[in-house]
Structure formats: C-alpha cells, structure tokens
Amino acid sequence: MTTVSSPLAGRAIGLAAVPDPVFSGAMVGPGTAIDPVREPSEAVAPVDGVIVSLHPHAFVVVDESGHGVLTHLGIDTVQLNGEGFELLVNKGDTVVRGQGVVRWDPAAVEAAGKSPICPIVALEATAEALTDLLEKGDVKAGESLFLWK
C-alpha cells in the first residue's frame, strides 16, 4: 500500500474537474487534482522514490513497489517552454516525500493564460486500486491524497 501525498497546497477538485479531456477522462490514469494556492511555491515529491521523468511542467516519481505518480503542474504549461519553472532535482535522483522537485508560480501560469490546476495521477493503475481518494476540500502539501493498493 502506497500513500500518495499532495505535492502542493490548495484545494482538491478531483480529476473530472480538470479542464483537459486526457486528464478528466482518466486516460493517463486515475487520481485527483489540486487547484493550487496562487503564490510561488515548490511542488514536492508525493512519494519516496526515483525521478524517472522530469520536465519543468511535470514529473514522475516511481516508488519502491514500482508505482509511478505523475504530478502535472498546470494544463498546457508545456507551451510555456519552462518559463517560470525551476527544477530543483535531476532525472534519476532519489527523492523523499515532501522534498522540493520544481519551484513555480501558479499565479504567473494563470497570467500567461494557462490553467494552474495540477493533476496527480497514478500511472498504469486501475481506479479500483485507489482508495481514500481526496476530491474536495483544502489540502496542504504532504497531506494524503489517496492510497494505492
């Protein structure tokens, strides 16, 4: 059982509320989404593991049981070409839950015309594999978003 923590402070809104059909339709995988607080912050690792994919706008951490968790910072933010994002780790690094991975500013993303909403997705999982899924309410970075069986 893996506990997946929130990489950000904000409000849990669930994947269905993400303004992107790939995420809202859970095509990438099940999970939830965070509408982040609008202040510069660090997106932190949601689990202990290894950074297997790292881009300014998104990262994947794989834990010891092989579960990959995608944190996507905003929607269509790849179009910002890294502007406003600062990588704090490197691909291949081992990270601990709560460790800063990317520094960013959700308000700047919004000002650039993109949605700052952040999907947190269990890659290659079934919806049945997730329990205690948080889909509403305020959440702090590091608080549990869901359990992955």
pLDDT of residue 110: 96
pLDDT-derived band of residue 132, with 50, 70 and 90 as boundaries? Answer: very high
Query: Taken in order 103, 106, 111, 117, is the CA torsion positive or negative?
Result: positive
pTM of the model: 0.97
Distance CA 28, CA 24 (A): 9
Q: Is residue 32 packed enough to be buried (19+ CB in 10 Å), middle (13-18) or exposed (0-12)? A: buried
Q: What average pLDDT does the segment 71-92 reach?
A: 96
DSSP per-residue letters across 41-86: EEEE-SSSEEEEEEETTEEEEE-TTS-EEEEE-SBSGGGGTTTTEE
Predicted confidence (pLDDT) per residue in 27-67, tens digit = 999 999 999 999 999 999 999 999 999 999 999 999 999 99
* CA atoms of 117 and 74, how far apart (whole Å): 5
CB atoms within 10 A of CB 80: 19
Query: What integer pLDDT is reported at residue 72 of this predicted model?
Result: 98
- Return the closest-CA partner of residue 37 out of 6, 67, 64, 5: 6
Q: What is the mean pLDDT of residues 5-21?
A: 97
Mean pLDDT, all residues of the chain:
97
Residue 116 confidence (pLDDT): 97
Per the structure, the count of domains in the chain is: 1
Residues with catalytic annotation? 72
What is the span of the domain harbouring residue 82? 2-148
Closest CA to 15 of 85, 58, 70, 93: 70
The pLDDT value given to residue 121: 98
**Phi, psi dihedral angles at 92 (to 5 degrees):** 95, -15
Domain containing residue 49: CATH number: 2.70.70.10
Query: What is the rounded CA–CA span in Å between residue 58 and residue 43?
Result: 10
